[in-house]
Chain A
Amino acid sequence: KAGVTQTPRYLIKTRGQQVTLSCSPISGHRSVSWYQQTPGQGLQFLFEYFSETQRNKGNFPGRFSGRQFSNSRSEMNVSTLELGDSALYLCASSSQGQKLVDTQYFGPGTRLTVL
């Protein structure tokens, strides 16, 4: 099976702009989680989608939002970008079938730089 893919791989934006990142999970996986990775804060959970519904949400401001489509692909949007939003944004997919917990597989990430 193909792995988790993310587009674009790199983005440069300026403060105040908005950005949309895309994630395609492993075929058959229905859960997509998003994480922000920075040198100072490590990997922080943003939100998780399952069957087009946001199931869990981390402690990020409302400028961070997401959605999931019927084919399980997911997008996250960041509005009114701030310098502190510069980070590697990772998505991870899991099958989340009958088990309560399933292994999460990460995509390569989108490196966002805000100038």
Chain B
Amino acid sequence: GENVEQHPSTLSVQEGDSAVIKCTYSDSASNYFPWYKQELGKRPQLIIDIRSNVGEKKDQRIAVTLNKTAKHFSLHITETQPEDSAVYFCAAFRGSQGNLIFGKGTKLSVKP
């Protein structure tokens, strides 16, 4: 079945630096890759997503890249701010199965 590996599990950066989180997936049939941000005690919130026919997508300080050949996708956050501190989850959607498979999450800490 599909497996999604996410690295690193924890990431600490200084305010203003960039943060990069990487995920790999195993099922070549996966066609949709969302990223969720979960603050402590709150629900996961979608921050950006990318579909398999697109290589890169950007939304202000957040960007996601997808390499279908290598089966990996990455989240890039530039000019990090303390409010970016949260757990970030990547996921892959298997169209044939119809469900999201999540990575284990990355706890991002942005130090002022």
The chain A residues found within 8 Å of chain B, CB to CB, are: 33, 35, 42-45, 48, 55-56, 58, 90, 100-101, 103-109
Contact = CB atoms under 8 A, between A and B. Distances in A.
Nearest to B98: A56
Nearest to A104: B100
Interface of A is mostly: strand
Interface of B: 31-32, 34, 36, 42-46, 49, 51, 89, 91, 93, 95, 97-105
B64 to A, nearest CB: 14
Nearest to A4: B43
A101 B89 contact: no
A105 B46 contact: yes
Contacts of B49: 103
A107 B89 CA distance: 16
A42 B102 contact: yes
A101 B93 CA distance: 8
Interface of B is mostly: strand
A93 to B, nearest CB: 12
Nearest to B51: A101
B31 A90 contact: no
B90 to A, nearest CB: 11
A101 B32 CA distance: 7
Contacts of A43: 44, 89, 91, 102, 105
A104 B34 contact: yes
28 contacts: A35-B102, A42-B102, A42-B104, A42-B105, A43-B44, A43-B89, A43-B102, A43-B105, A45-B99, A45-B102, A48-B98, A48-B99, A55-B98, A56-B98, A58-B99, A100-B95, A101-B32, A101-B51, A103-B34, A103-B49, A104-B34, A104-B46, A104-B100, A106-B36, A106-B43, A106-B44, A107-B43, A108-B42
